Chain A
Amino acid sequence: VSALKWVGGLLLAWVVLEMLKNLVLVETATRLERIPYAILRLARRRLPVEHRKTIHDQEWLPELVVIVRETEGLPITRLVRGVLYSIGLLFVASRVSKIRAVAPLAPKSRRRRKRIKMIEALTYAGLLAGAVVALPWPLFEAAALAALGASAAMWAARSGLTLNGRMARFAVAGGCNLLAIWIVLVGMNVEIIEAYTLPFAVLALAAGLYEDRKRPYLGSWLAFGPGLVAGISPSLAVALVDQNPPVARPTLLISIALVVIALGMLRQQRALVVLGSAQLVIAVSSALLAAELGWLLAVMVVATSLLSGIAWRLGVLDHNLQRVRTSLARMR
């Protein structure tokens, strides 16, 4: 009986050991498989935010997946190939992004550039002539200016421009649209201007999303900035000046600001977060001032300053703690 117990015990121990061995093997294999991806994530962090999607997500990562898949069943080969691929990219990430950043500015043939410039100039000239002719009729004038703005925005988004050229065209686009909105508002004696400006802001947001997807090299400021500023600033300006605003104004402005911030946080677009926050601050401040709740505004400003100060101090402390930890680790 005792011999049987021994055999049974040994069998049980063998089964448990086998199970443990398999678990350790699977655990190790899974963790090893993650190493190339972890290195590639480090390479991703070395890329500027605006290039991470096009360079890492759409090019490097899919290739790594293929490399890993091709060596299925060969864990060591897979690890070596994956790690070599990722490490190579880790060292050249910033160089590739710099070359890519210049890519949209690549010189085109002289004749082609001349032709494009001439077409652009003719477009502006035609639309400007239309705007001059439409001067006596405010609505037509606004339409002509909006068309001019839209045309400048389209030209600004094309590849092969210098940064200054692009900024200038976007400025013209934003200015023309702002002027067009102002003419509509004054010419039609509009009571609630948000009925006109906010749909424009939503349109600008949609256009920005499209541009960001199609031309990621623009960056969030150029893709969203001019449209949003042109769409929102008239409302904000009126909100700051108007002593008796309609109830709908602060609600609409705050709602759209929150949508813009949420979108910016989801898509990690700095321009959206900054513009949305600025709009939110202005809208909330003007609403509080209009409701004679200036004291509440003062409390909010003080609380925000205090919280920012605490967050900054904690950040410094955390940084110092990390430095101490690193120094201690080096001593061992």
Chain B
Amino acid sequence: MALGSKERFKIEFQRCVDRALFPFTAVYAIVWLRVVNRFKIPNIKEIRRKFAELESQGTGPLLICGNHLTLVDTVIKEWALTSNARYLRRFSLFPWSLPEKKNFANHWFWKVAAYLGKCIYIVRKGPPEETKLVLDKVKYLLERGEAVSIFPEGGRSRVGRVDTENFAYGTGKIIQSVANPRVLCVFLRGKHQREYTDFPMRGEEFYVDIEMIHPRSPHKGLRADRDLATQVIQKLAEMEKRFFEVVRPEWHMPERNESSPALM
């Protein structure tokens, strides 16, 4: 179903506010990332060059799918992919995100940050009508040429690695909802990140890798949702495996933590 005019207005209004205040938001984010937390991404130049190249090769809706271990993965991904100057020039590249409402709506600061950071809250295990409204918003944004960033695992991985068993299929539903989608898989890993946490440790060094895929499925409906979501998860798992076996074998892949509760 198409998004109603009221919801479209709310999104467009938020986009205008976010665009107008982006220079301030961006400076704040950079200070928080680089000065307060002293985060580092040694291969950031290579990733930005690769992203510019991959992004320029197509025109379809851009869905950014990353692995998920901390609450600030989105901000780090945004920092890694391109410069704030480029986001300012092409604000549609600065992705919309779908944070869990209970994590980011419990304090005025997070509410403001989420609003200014192009966020749309989602309630995990929420009523189907609410989830559907969020999916309609995502479809609207993707068709409008806005990048959208999601976590296909459906939450922070409880097993310390890309969770290939307990992932949600909403990613597949989103991919199915638009024509010719491009899916940018982003693998992000902090050197000291052993399992899921709220925040990475101060001074953390991140490795980032990206790959563009174009998932397709011969199936329809729920079966296609599962098939498409599985393709994305498998790509992320493959990137993770390559990272720990070839790129940074000295970082050691953590054992799959089976004792952690599965995502609900």
Are A and B part of the same complex?
no
- Residue positions of B touching A, CB distance < 8 A: none
